[in-house]
Amino acid sequence: MRLSGFTDEASDNLEGQIKATKALGWDYLSARTFNGQNIHDVAEHDFEIICEQFETNDIKVAEFGTLIGSWGKTISSDWAITLKEIERCIPRMQKLSVKYARIMSYAQNPWGEAQYDQERFKRLREITQRFEDAGLVALHENCMNWGGFSAEHSLKLLDEVPNLKLIFDTGNPIFQRDRSKPEPQPWQDSIEFYNTVKHAVAHVHIKDAHMPLAATEPVYTFPGDGDANLKAILKDLIKSDYDGFIAIEPHVGKVFHDPEANKDEDHAFDLYVQYGRAFEKLIEKIKDGISAH
């Protein structure tokens, strides 16, 4: 397995993101936002600088964390917005030799309202085909989108969208109800979700968290300290010889979509690096346990 991370949780700026990657001794980062703009939205001049700095510092990109079909767009959003994002994204991925684009299946409408499933399937078929035609791979993440309603919803996407593969985010099930189960719909279970979809998982995002009683928002933790069943998931990945990327997305010091959580840049940087090191130690501990048996 190869380690990466969403470095916009360490720093808003390019210099800080490269510095955090080097502090961990990693070769890859997961590119999402730079100075508040997604990698497929930054100005061409700024993108050229990003490319030059990656080359100068011998940093490679594991994935583009795109806004394509994200939870920030409803299924009724203008399709032209998505097409333009794809058109900007593909040549930039090709320039940086990036294989994977993280996509989603558009925002969840409130449960009980129409979800327009067929329109979602139609859009994802075209999204994935456009990337495939360019020699690239669009991977769907289980977030606050249609496919994140439950593991069964992700399976339905796999049935409806040819050749679709998944990103599994270990922490996202913790704060979502399992919409495949009857009322009262319980919180999703990370290991149950993983075991259901793991045959289609091509990439992994690492978060961990608790969901306190009566809370509406999770409390994020260091890896292995929450309810994501990280040890069991990682043990299975290691024993199955998973050789893809694993990207940390800590949410402990900086959350890219929550400005209120992003006020102390130095603190966020330090926490990101601490998180990465803690994750490496967790992996080694699990490997040692496997070897001992």
- Residues 224-266 have pLDDT tens digits of 999 999 999 999 999 999 999 999 999 998 664 455 555 578 9
How does pLDDT run across 138-194, given as a tens digit for each residue?
Answer: 999 999 999 999 999 999 999 999 999 999 999 999 999 999 999 999 999 999 999
pLDDT at residue 264, as a whole number: 72
Whether the per-residue pLDDT at 80 is higher than 80: the answer is yes
Q: d(Cα 117, Cα 108) in Å, to the nearest integer? A: 11
The crossing angle, in degrees rounded to 10, of helices 190-197 and 151-160 is 20
Whether the per-residue pLDDT at 44 is higher than 60: the answer is yes
Cis? peptide before 182, omega within 30° of 0: no
Q: What angle do CA 71, 72, 73 make, to 5 degrees?
A: 90
Q: d(Cα 210, Cα 264) in Å, to the nearest integer? A: 23
pLDDT at residue 193, as a whole number: 98
Domains of the chain as residue ranges with CATH: 2-292 (3.20.20.150)
Could you give the percent of the chain with pLDDT greater than 70?
97
What average pLDDT score do residues 25-51 get? 98
Whether the per-residue pLDDT at 87 is higher than 70: the answer is yes
pLDDT at residue 75, as a whole number: 98
Residue with tokens 């456009």: 130
**Which residues are within 8 A (CB) of 11 and not within 5 positions of it... i.e. 6 or more apart?**
17, 19, 20, 265, 268, 269
Which residues of 68-174 form beta strands (DSSP E)? Answer: 100-103, 137-141, 165-169
Whether the per-residue pLDDT at 9 is higher than 70: the answer is yes
Q: What angle do CA 193, 108, 3 make, to 5 degrees?
A: 45
What average pLDDT score do residues 38-50 get? 98
Q: d(Cα 184, Cα 31) in Å, to the nearest integer? A: 38
Q: d(Cα 114, Cα 104) in Å, to the nearest integer? A: 18
Pair 106, 140: CB distance under 8 Å: no
pLDDT at residue 261, as a whole number: 54
| Among 69, 71, 33, 98, CA closest to 245 | 98
Confidence band (pLDDT; 50, 70, 90) for 6? very high
Q: In this structure, are strands 165-169 and 137-141 parallel, antiparallel, or unpaired?
A: parallel
pLDDT at residue 260, as a whole number: 59
Q: Which amino acid is at 157?
A: L
What average pLDDT score do residues 85-112 get? 98
Q: Which two tokens stand for residue 39?
A: 């990698």
What average pLDDT score do residues 27-51 get? 98
Q: What angle do CA 205, 17, 171 make, to 5 degrees?
A: 20
Q: What is the pTM of this model?
A: 0.95
What average pLDDT score do residues 69-92 get? 98
pLDDT at residue 292, as a whole number: 85
Can you give the C-alpha Rg of the chain in angstroms?
Answer: 18
Residue with tokens 């594991």: 62
How does pLDDT run across 178-234, given as a tens digit for each residue?
Answer: 999 999 999 999 999 999 999 999 999 999 999 988 778 899 999 999 999 999 999
